[in-house]
Chains A and B, each alone.
Chain A
Amino acid sequence: MPLEIMEVPLAGKVLEVNVNPGDKIAEGSQVCTIESMKMENPILAPVSGVVKEIKVSPGQVIKAGETIAVIEY
């Protein structure tokens, strides 16, 4: 099964995480929200699959390119 490594699209702060490891998620479902540039940015799953890992937690300051989650699809 291939792995999709979701990367942070823009630097900011994690507001909330909407999924847990083991969750089955559909493409387009919200994985987390990043607060950045005066916006609450929903980060959506690019593929349907199972969440293997979550690498961020609410309140955490993150940089572009860091891993948000790993999805097996």
Chain B
Amino acid sequence: MATTAELIEKYKERREKIKQMGEPKVLENRRKAGQLSARERIDYFFDPGTFTELGLFIKHRTAAFGLDKREVPAEGIITGYGKVNGRHVVASAEDYSSMAGTFGEYHGKKFAHALDFAKEVGWPCISMNDSGGARLQEGMDTLESYGWLFRAQILASGIVPQISLLMGPCLGGQAYHPVMQDFLIQCRHTGFMGIAGPAFAKTQIGEEITLEELSGWKAHAVRSGQTHIVAEDDKDALDKCKHLLSFLPSNNKQKPLRTETKDDPERTVPELDALIPDRPTHPFDMLKVITSVVDDSHFFEIMKDYARNCIIGFARFNGRPAGIVANQSMQAAGIIDVNAADKMARFIRFCDLFNIPLISLQDCPGYMIGSEQDWKGILRHGAKLLYSWADATVPLISIIVRKSYAGAHYGMLDKAIGADLVFAWPTARVTIVGAETAASVIFAKEIKEAENQQEVRAKRIEEYDELYENPYRGAERGYIDDIIMPSDTRKMINRALDVLENKTVARPWKKYSNINL
């Protein structure tokens, strides 16, 4: 019989062996390529000494194809919890050195359990994706385990924040995992994701395309809109994830953490009084408005390479985290097209789920018109914005900076759709339609019959412009709470957030709205 000392020694050996992870050659290649191992990622992510591992000794139970003789340390995925900047977080890190981080029955069970655990304790769940895909040797067991993971993360969605770090490959149906998280951070040189890789594309449909082009950062951060943040390498991805977490509460019952700031909440921003171009057809940089009004000019932009005609991201006001949604007239007129609507709507809903107040900065000539967008379903996609605002119960503040035309008026948050407070700059142009279009419709007959058509047209446009393209009609009806100096914007947002701090909304019970998807 073994002595206690021997049992302890044996335990230490077994534990250490698993912690050495899988194939040394894979680890070495990764190191040479500048990538961290799964354990190094965990170490870098958590505050020193705070990580508790769960399921270290878990083993697969497959015997087919020689798998009974195959050791897969920790089943190719490290799971556990610890502290990040002093706050509890649950994490899973796939280990490519252990049978290529392939996804089998117990790999999936550990992954899904981490999510269930995070949901139960109410802590954010972070996943580091780096896997060669399905472990085909396990057949049906692998297939079923994907379902556990997907269901676990979907049931945790809206309860705890979920962030994926795409640090290695994640191809095939497995890629639904990172895509269904709240945020996806993709490593520029090593993260690849897609419904299938290039080999499948070639054999199935004859498409010749590289992995980089089909599944790399540009594919998702620029084209598909599935990646929220691009990171330069593993450490950058982990740093960005920590940064993102600082804006979020641990779960949907909490408010995000308010921090100390030296930035005066009543600070005026004089340069904003001269920012808007004299001609309404000229663009200006909305990012200047954002960075000048938030605490310490610090803005954490999300999806900055996708649908650049709108801007979303996190910032703080007097230490309070807030979500910002804005139009960018420097790109495609700042219109709302199908992609911009999707981008903004999902962000609004995330903020609403996690008690993060929202601020809209409007300068939008409308939803994009014409066959291209109409046939892509701009109405259906645009509807997501309306649902998101009307369903939201967090503080909603709208600042009409310049254009708030037609559908964009409510699509970018007006009083009617749910704003608690609406402020407009004197440069605001709030109207059902631009003066030129309105005048040519209302006075079509008069213009047509006039001797000097140009003159009559110009006069009528000016008339409509003076009557309606301003913030005063909205303020007269109370749809705009006040017209403010642009320089006072930060002050007004901070005062509004103070007032709305304890906003509560009671509505009749229902399962959820039937949002247009």
Partner of A39 from the list B283, B337, B372 (CB cut-off 8 Å) is B283
Most buried by B among A36, A39, A64: A39
Task: List, in ascending order, chain A residues with CB within 8 A of B373's CB.
Answer: 64
Task: List, in ascending order, chain A residues with CB within 8 A of B331's CB.
Answer: 9
Q: Tell whether, in the assembled complex, residue B332 and residue A41 are in contact, meaning their CB atoms are under 8 Å apart.
A: yes
Report the bound CA distance from A40 to B373 in whole Å.
19
Q: Tell whether, in the assembled complex, residue B281 and residue A9 are in contact, meaning their CB atoms are under 8 Å apart.
A: no
Q: Tell whether, in the assembled complex, residue B370 and residue A39 are in contact, meaning their CB atoms are under 8 Å apart.
A: no
Q: Tell whether, in the assembled complex, residue B368 and residue A39 are in contact, meaning their CB atoms are under 8 Å apart.
A: no
Report the tally of A-B residue pairs with Cβ distances under 8 A.
Answer: 47
| Interface band, chain A | 10 to 19
Q: Tell whether, in the assembled complex, residue B337 and residue A10 are in contact, meaning their CB atoms are under 8 Å apart.
A: yes
Q: Tell whether, in the assembled complex, residue A9 and residue B332 are in contact, meaning their CB atoms are under 8 Å apart.
A: yes
Most buried by B among A11, A35, A63: A11
Task: List, in ascending order, chain B residues with CB within 8 A of A55's CB.
Answer: none
Q: When each residue 262-302 of chain B gets 1 if its CB lies under 8 Å from chain A and 0 otherwise, what string results?
A: 00000000000000000011110000000000000000000
Q: Which of B318-346 contact A (CB under 8 A)?
A: 329-335, 337
Q: Cβ of B120 < 8 Å from any Cβ of A?
A: no
Report the bound CA distance from A38 to B403 in whole Å.
10
Q: Cβ of B436 < 8 Å from any Cβ of A?
A: yes
Partner of B372 from the list A35, A37, A63 (CB cut-off 8 Å) is A63
Task: List, in ascending order, chain B residues with CB within 8 A of A65's CB.
Answer: 372
Tell me, rounded to whole Å, the shortest Cβ–Cβ distance linking B340 to chain A: 11
**Chain A at the B interface: mostly helix, strand, loop or mixed?**
loop
Task: List, in ascending order, chain A residues with CB within 8 A of B337's CB.
Answer: 10
Q: Tell whether, in the assembled complex, residue B333 and residue A11 are in contact, meaning their CB atoms are under 8 Å apart.
A: no
Tell me, rounded to whole Å, the shortest Cβ–Cβ distance linking B359 to chain A: 23
Q: Tell whether, in the assembled complex, residue A39 and residue B334 are in contact, meaning their CB atoms are under 8 Å apart.
A: yes
Q: Tell whether, in the assembled complex, residue B365 and residue A40 are in contact, meaning their CB atoms are under 8 Å apart.
A: no
Contact A40 to B281, CB < 8 A, known contacts A63-B372, A64-B372: yes
Report the bound CA distance from A10 to B403 in whole Å.
18
Closest A residue to B435 by beta carbon equals A38
Q: Tell whether, in the assembled complex, residue A37 and residue B283 are in contact, meaning their CB atoms are under 8 Å apart.
A: no
Report the bound CA distance from A37 to B356 in whole Å.
32
Q: When each residue 27-68 of chain A gets 1 if its CB lies under 8 Å from chain B and 0 otherwise, what string results?
A: 000000001111111100000000000000000000111000
> Can you give 6 A-B contacts (C-beta < 8 A)?
A10-B335, A37-B333, A38-B280, A39-B333, A40-B283, A64-B373
**4 more CB-based (< 8 A) A-B contacts, given A36-B332, A37-B368, A38-B333:** A10-B337, A39-B283, A41-B283, A41-B333
Chain A residues engaging chain B, CB cutoff 8 angstroms: 9-11, 35-42, 63-65
